[in-house]
Structure 1
Amino acid sequence: MLEIIKNRAVRILSLANVFETLGVSIFNIVLLTYAKTYANPTVMISAVSIATVVPGTLGFAIGYWADHLTHKDQMLIVTKVLQALLYLGLSLVIDHRTPLVFAIVIAINLISDSLGFLSSSLRLPVIRQRVAQNDRQQVLGLNQSIASLLQPVGQSIGVFILAVTHDYALAALVNAGTFFLAALILLLGRRAIHIAPIPVPPARRGEKGPGLWRKMSNILGQSSGVSIIRLLTAVVIVNAVGASVDAVINLYILDQGRATGLSFGLAILIINVLFVAGTVMGSTLKVRFLDRQSFKTVMVGTIGVMVLLYLNFLWVQSYWMVVVLMFAIAFGLGNMNPKLYAQVISLADQNIVGTIFGTVSSLVTIAAPLGSVGIVLVYNAISPAAAYWASIIILLIGTAVLLLGKHQRPVAKA
């Protein structure tokens, strides 16, 4: 880890990511609180929740757009400036509580989140050119860890600002300030993150449909060791179940609370803290054994631990086993995502990498609420055991999808 921090481009990108993550998380909690101040808070909070998901569902389109921008390093700075200006403008109108103003606030936040997704895609070619191949997985893991660690910090800052001042305009100004700081860091370090312009080849301009699909299929197949259909199907299945885990654990502890010997809040806090710790450790630590494993192997192992979690819910019902298994799941997920993304960056042309990441992100975003609602509905409408068995069956289907069928040899790590 110390070696990659010596890379100035990594320091610039990571420090900018710190302030960007704070900005996003500060206003997400502020926006929910703001929605609650309206006459019909249920409708307004629902609108906020839907708008928060939209940028993820547009991942393919945003990634495709990022791939067609020539000066990616310059546009990375521009996105932060635009986000800062959006929240600066928002601070001027947010105190006028009318339905039109609420719609404007939602629109500004949606555009800002979309620009954030765009900047994530623009960072990838910079990492490819400025970071050695052997270090890319750790760099991607570091940025993933920043998001995991600082989201609750940003939310706490947002809550603190409102608790002390009750001033939504001030919260918007603080948010604008975080994005200005991110832009300033990138601007001051522009030489470290500078890459040559990446023109889109004439053959790729307007490329869609079968040609684009074949390229994505080839790259994701080589990166993961399975065909694109099987990979994306497994990703959707695992994320559909994974998204419901938090809700299922909450309901499980609510039902079995006395057996833990802890208060409900403390029991949840311990799990959440260790989950974040597992994600950070999985993302950033170089574990030689895991580094030698393919993405598919790590994913199957992580699914296996998730199955053990649901078997524990069914038969053992040990709270401390839940804690240990959630840490192991987080560690696997933390290692798995940077592993795949580092391989994709190495294999893909720089003008297609955003499209690939956007496609995976869109599927994950769509799968998460579907799985969460479905499993929780089974839990409440039928029985907890039915929800556990449904989750196990879905996870086993995901494992079968990964393991069965023609194997595609992943590219060895250099």
Structure 2
Amino acid sequence: MQEKIRKRGFFVLTGAELTGVIGDVLYNIVFLIYATQQENKFLCVSIAGILPFIPRVLNFYSGYLADRIKRPFKSATIFKITQIIMFLVVAAVIEHPSLIVFLLISVLMVLSDFLGNLYGGVFIVAEKDSLHADEREAYMGYLSGITSAIYLIFQSAGVGLLTVFHNDFTLIALINAFTIALSLGILWAGRKYLPASAFNKKVTTQTEESPEQTQVNGMVAGAKLLWSFPEIKTMIILIITINFLGAIQTPVLNLTYTQLNAILINHSVSFTILAVSLSLGIGELIGGFSLGTPLHKIKLLQLMPMNFIMYLLSAVAVFLANWPLLLFTMFILGFVQGMFNPKFNAWFMNNVPEDNFALVSGMMTTCSMFAIPVGQVVGMSLVGLGSIYIGWTLLGILGLLAAIGAIYVNKNYQVNI
């Protein structure tokens, strides 16, 4: 009986989390469309593109704060209520287009995402306590797979709702507020199944220092802890490489759709974009669920050479104008991504001290995020040259070098993930 209650606690936490994700996915894609309809279209679209990265860059700080919250459930409730109020404000102003309104909504979205990061951070210990160590990888895989499915379904649903309701952005904001409220409702309805750490959490404090000094010392200590694990150092390097290559690939691939008709499926740009997105998403979905099968025995480092070689193969696909090969490479990239996150998250829960869970996780995210703007600059610079083949050649070479590097690490370093 106790075993069932414990697992129900995990399902309550993940159910609340996934319900909130639905609203986020819906609104993020809709907000980008909203940006394209503003008077200063270029500026607004640029801002909309940058917004998702701001909370991620601040993950180290939200992680630090989350680790020091003593009452996770109470704090999570406050976070959710605040988010609901924010999106009610968005719903009230969004149909009065102006640059000021757009900037206000942008600020509210960043704050909401920051609160979302805090929400996720405060319950990391509770999620750990809801599962045995040998269960975490499989369950994290299921969670990753379901999240991928949500992204696949509700990105399209957001666009569909806008079409059906004639660009009613107020409705989408209200739907997002409703999903947040529903997420909070799930949390409250299932609170009796949550572990004790969801309500009261041990927090290490240093009362002799000023709050500012405590924060600095806490984050320095977290950074030292981060680099004390060879596995984490290796993973950060791998994630940075993955993000860098992916950030280069995106603008080059987008230009390819417009310059290389032979790569298009049925001569349709929109259908090809959809097929590429679906291949990536389905790969993530299957990769996540595969951790409940014998494939969970594969170590992350063993996956990396295959992952990196896909960038070379995607370049080959473009040079050959072979869209089935391109879709295959996207599927494999998604599959590896679907396995990567839950496997690492499970290892993370089993090895990192609880009082620094969110901080170390946030620092990892922040470190790895810096590769994305650099990769985007490189990708956009290559796009600016006007030839897709220059970009794909560079991406293929970098993918090959990364694969060789991953093989070398596999052979010469013992990293047990």
Q: Same fold (TM over 0.5)?
A: yes
Of 407, 411, 414, the match for 1:409:
414
The one-letter code matched in structure 1 to 2:173 is A
In structure 2, distance between residues paired with 1:114 and 1:383: 39
Gapped runs of 5+ residues in structure 1? none
Q: Quick check: 12-21 or 271-280, which moved more?
A: 12-21
Of 296, 303, 310, the match for 1:305:
310
Corresponding position: 1:281 with 2:286: yes
In structure 1, distance between residues paired with 2:219 and 2:73: 28
In structure 1, distance between residues paired with 2:6 and 2:155: 30
Query: What per-residue deviation string (whole Å, max 9, x for no partner) do you get for residues 151-209 of structure 1?
Result: 34334443344432543333222211110000000111112233332222246954346
Q: Give the equivalent residue in structure 2 for 1:217.
A: 227
In structure 1, distance between residues paired with 2:277 and 2:13: 27
Q: How far apart are 1:311 and its partner, in Å? A: 3.5
Distance 1:155 1:188, change over 3 A: same
Distance 1:56 1:209, change over 3 A: closer
Of 344, 350, 356, the match for 2:348:
344
Please give the TM-score of this superposition, normalised by the length of structure 2. 0.86
Gapped runs of 5+ residues in structure 2? 208-213
In structure 2, distance between residues paired with 1:319 and 1:166: 33
Contact map agreement 1:137 1:341 (CA 8 A) in 2: yes
Q: Give the equivalent residue in structure 1 for 2:210.
A: none
Alignment of 1:58-97 (within 5 A): 58-97=58-97
Percent of aligned positions that are identical = 22
In structure 1, distance between residues paired with 2:101 and 2:321: 49
Q: How far apart are 1:236 and its partner, in Å? A: 1.4
Q: How far apart are 1:85 and its partner, in Å? A: 1.7
SS in 2 for 1:7: helix
Contact map agreement 2:133 2:350 (CA 8 A) in 1: yes
Alignment of 1:9-408 (within 5 A): 9-163=9-163, 164=165, 166-196=167-197, 197-202=200-205, 206=215, 207-208=217-218, 211-219=221-229, 221-222=230-231, 228=233, 230-258=234-262, 262-264=266-268, 265-286=270-291, 290-314=295-319, 316-381=320-385, 383-399=387-403, 402=406, 403-404=408-409
Q: How far apart are 1:405 and its partner, in Å? A: 10
The one-letter code matched in structure 2 to 1:172 is A
SS in 1 for 2:48: helix
Q: How far apart are 1:42 and its partner, in Å? A: 1.9
Please give the TM-score of this superposition, normalised by the length of structure 1. 0.86
In structure 1, distance between residues paired with 2:85 and 2:263: 51
SS in 1 for 2:66: helix
SS in 1 for 2:291: coil
Contact map agreement 2:38 2:44 (CA 8 A) in 1: yes
In structure 2, distance between residues paired with 1:105 and 1:52: 13
Q: Quick check: 127-136 or 300-309, which moved more?
A: 300-309
Aligned length, in residue pairs:
403
Distance 1:287 1:154, change over 3 A: closer
Query: What per-residue deviation string (whole Å, max 9, x for no partner) do you get for residues 265-285 of structure 1?
Result: 333322322221110110122
Q: How far apart are 1:234 and its partner, in Å? A: 3.0
Q: How far apart are 1:213 and its partner, in Å? A: 2.5
In structure 2, distance between residues paired with 1:349 and 1:291: 24
SS in 1 for 2:123: helix
Q: How far apart are 1:45 and its partner, in Å? A: 2.2
Contact map agreement 1:375 1:391 (CA 8 A) in 2: no
In structure 2, distance between residues paired with 1:400 and 1:166: 48
Q: How far apart are 1:79 and its partner, in Å? A: 2.2
The one-letter code matched in structure 2 to 1:340 is F
Query: What per-residue deviation string (whole Å, max 9, x for no partner) do you get for residues 254-301 of structure 1?
Result: 444336662323333223222211101101223655422322222233
SS in 1 for 2:354: coil
The one-letter code matched in structure 2 to 1:215 is L
In structure 1, distance between residues paired with 2:296 and 2:176: 38
